[in-house]
Structure 1
Amino acid sequence: MSSYSAPFPEDLIDLQQQLHQAQADFHTLATAPPWGADSSPVFTEEEVDQVEELWERIRELTMAVNEHPYWTTANGSTGTHGGPVNNARRVLRVVRDPDADAGAA
């Protein structure tokens, strides 16, 4: 793990958690359909709509996380490759919501 230890704003953590959930929901949906005779997934119209909605949600959340104002102020960095901002982004990806962890225990 990175040595980066500054706390992230709650709204940024919430956005990242929503992104994790949308990605998990997409994975569940994408791997669940019954397979057709030609070994390709067979989706219902409702499932196709859900996939499209989830992709749109993932895109929106990704942009919201990436464009969050926090990244312009993190350690005074401008986001150079391998710098503090990139390290902070890596850390954010593994930050867990303590309330969700407590509920899972």
Structure 2
Amino acid sequence: MSSDSASFPEDLLDLQQQLHQAQADFHALATSPPWGAESTPVFTEEEVDQVEELWERIRELTMAVNEHPYWTATGDGRVNNARRGLRVVRDGSDDARGAGAA
């Protein structure tokens, strides 16, 4: 975990964690369909709806992360490094918040 992680606002960390979860849920659904007789994936109507909902959620969260006010307050030279740092904040996001609160 980089020291920059501690400087991310809690709401941005929460959005990023939600985005990671939505991506993981999508991946799990998309890579484990029941297979049909001709080795092709067979999705139920419910699963198709879930995929569409997850894609919409991923789009919304991506926009929310990318348009967060934090990025305009971060100096131009540091934005790319900060974005990379945020992307690696995963399950350890609680640790990053705790470090920032100290």
> Could you tell me how far 1:3 is from its partner in structure 2?
7.3
User: Runs of 4+ in structure 1 displaced over 3 angstroms?
Assistant: 1-6
Q: Does 1:24 align with 2:18?
A: no
**Normalising by the residue count of structure 2, what TM-score does the alignment of the two structures yield?**
0.82
> Could you tell me how far 1:26 is from its partner in structure 2?
0.3
> Could you tell me how far 1:37 is from its partner in structure 2?
2.5
Distance 1:21 1:5, change over 3 A: closer
Structure 2: 5+ residue stretches without partners: 96-102
Q: RMSD of the TM alignment (CA)? A: 1.9
Q: Which amino acid aligns with 1:14?
A: D
Distance in 1, matches of 2:65 and 2:49, equals 24
How high is the sequence identity, in percent, across the aligned residues?
84
Higher RCO (CA-CA < 8 Å; seq separation 6+): 2
* Aligned residues between the structures: 93
Distance in 2, matches of 1:38 and 1:21, equals 31
Which is helix-richer, 1 or 2? Answer: 2
Match of 2:94 among 92, 98, 102: 98
